């Protein structure tokens, strides 16, 4: 029986020398679901996402994107994935349109398909006013919209968004959340990593709370609040669960 999940992580471990960054992590994400991967700095979020993106090899375990084993065939897995990280810059001297066309070429897309996809993303992300401006002249929010468009130019079934709203103002953050919600409605599987637990509570169908490389708890935000003694927020629930773990 085939795995219906768009993303599957099974018993994933990653060690850097004597340090274990990810420790036996397992979770799955279904098509049409936003899964929040949340936790403090050093919890293992970015390492996990880099393994899923084929940028790191796991020490143990398996990660699959749309049924493709990332460890066995990272390039094929990347064709099914849109990966956005806040540390990836744009080419300042290129226009936004040129950046999108270039990344479409890297995905082996034919020129007519690239042009059609740029038109779709221009409408979805409100890019018309900035499409032919050099990236070096864009604001932080405008650059982030172009970065999102670049990550999804090939219309992949799985999106990994690592801290996508860092540095954005309230309006830009809301616009990006609305776009992510629209992609979920199109059937995309989305992994959303953020330090802003209130933002995750608004957007995510389920969340996985990471602590010291392991999954501390997983479920719908309201279920995790209930599990933590009817906490008033996801942030409070996380703090209570960590406190209980340390005290045990």
- 241 and 175 in a common domain: yes
What's the pLDDT at 1? 41
pTM check: above 0.85: yes
Task: Give me the domain span that covers residue 205.
Answer: 1-80+158-248
Both tokens assigned to 73: 């065939």
* 81-85 and 68-69 beta bridge pairing: unpaired
pLDDT for 246 beyond 80: no
- Give pLDDT, residue 2: 52
Q: How far apart are CA 57 and CA 71, in angstroms?
A: 6
Cα separation, 248 vs 246, in Å, equals 6
Residue 210 and residue 216: Cα distance in Å, rounded?
5
In this structure, are 1 and 37 located in the same domain? yes
Mean pLDDT across the stretch 84-112? 90
Q: State residue 176's pLDDT score.
A: 87
The angle that helices 111-125 and 140-151 make with each other, rounded to 10 degrees, is: 140
DSSP character for 95?
B
Q: How many C-beta atoms surround the C-beta of residue 54 within 10 A?
A: 20
Residue 248: the pLDDT is: 62
- Mean pLDDT, rounded, for 156-165: 92
Mean pLDDT for 163-184 is 87
Q: How confident is the model at residue 147 (pLDDT cuts 50, 70, 90)?
A: very high
Q: Which of 116, 138, 155 is the last residue of a domain?
A: 155
The residue that leads in pLDDT, 9 or 243, is: 9
Percent of the chain with pLDDT over 70: 97
C-alpha to C-alpha distances, 67 to 28, 30, 139, 243, nearest whole angstrom: 12, 12, 37, 37
Residue 160: beta bridge partners? 83, 191
| Pick from 73-82, 89-98, 163-172: least confident | 163-172
The per-residue pLDDT for 199 is 87
Residue with tokens 């398909």: 113
Is pLDDT above 80 for 88? no
Count of Cβ atoms closer than 10 Å to residue 244 Cβ: 13
Of 134, 155, 176, the residue at which a domain comes to its end is 155
Distances (CA, A) of 105 to 54, 85, 234: 20, 20, 41
Q: Give the integer Cα–Cα distance in Å for 81 and 64.
A: 11
Q: What is the pLDDT of residue 112?
A: 96
49-82 confidence digits (pLDDT tens): 999 999 999 999 999 999 999 999 999 999 999 9
Dihedral sign (CA 31, 120, 143, 167): negative
- Say if residue 171 is in the same domain as residue 248: yes
Mean pLDDT rounded to a whole number for the chain: 91
Q: How many CA atoms lie within 13 A of 223 on its CB side?
A: 10
Mean pLDDT of 87-98: 87
**What one-character DSSP code corresponds to residue 66?**
T
Q: The domain that contains 165 carries what CATH number? A: 3.40.50.300
pLDDT at 90 over 70: yes
Clarify whether residues 210 and 222 are in a common domain. Answer: yes
Helices (H) and strands (E) in the chain, counts: 9, 10
Domain identity same for 164 and 46: yes
pLDDT score for 169: 82
One domain, residues 116 and 188:
no
Mean pLDDT on 195-213: 90
**Same domain (yes/no): 66, 178:** yes
Domain final residue pick, 111, 134, 155: 155
């Amino acid at each position: 029986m085939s795995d219906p999940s768009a993303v599957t992580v099974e018993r994933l471990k990653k060690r850097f020398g004597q340090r274990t960054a990810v420790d036996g992590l397992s979770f799955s994400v279904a098509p049409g679901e936003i899964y929040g991967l949340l936790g403090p700095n050093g919890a293992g979020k970015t390492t996990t996402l880099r393994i899923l993106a084929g940028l790191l090899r796991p020490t143990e375990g398996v990660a699959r994107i749309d049924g493709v084993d990332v460890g066995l065939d990272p390039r094929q897995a990347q064709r099914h994935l849109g990966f956005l990280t806040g540390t990836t810059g744009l080419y300042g001297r290129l226009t936004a349109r040129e950046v999108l066309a270039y990344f479409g070429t890297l995905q082996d897309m034919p020129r007519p398909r690239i042009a059609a996809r740029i038109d779709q993303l221009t409408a979805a992300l409100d890019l018309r006013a900035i499409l032919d401006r050099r990236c070096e002249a864009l604001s932080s929010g405008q650059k982030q919209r172009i970065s999102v468009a670049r990550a999804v130019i090939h219309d992949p079934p799985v999106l990994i968004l690592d801290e996508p709203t860092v540095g954005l103002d309230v309006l830009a953050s809301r616009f990006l959340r609305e776009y992510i919600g629209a992609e979920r409605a199109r059937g995309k599987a989305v992994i959303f990593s953020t330090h802003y637990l209130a933002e995750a509570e608004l957007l995510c169908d389920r969340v996985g709370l990471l602590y010291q490389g392991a999954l501390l708890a997983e479920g719908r935000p309201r279920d995790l609040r209930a599990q933590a003694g009817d906490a008033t927020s996801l942030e409070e629930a996380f703090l209570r669960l960590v406190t209980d773990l340390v005290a045990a």
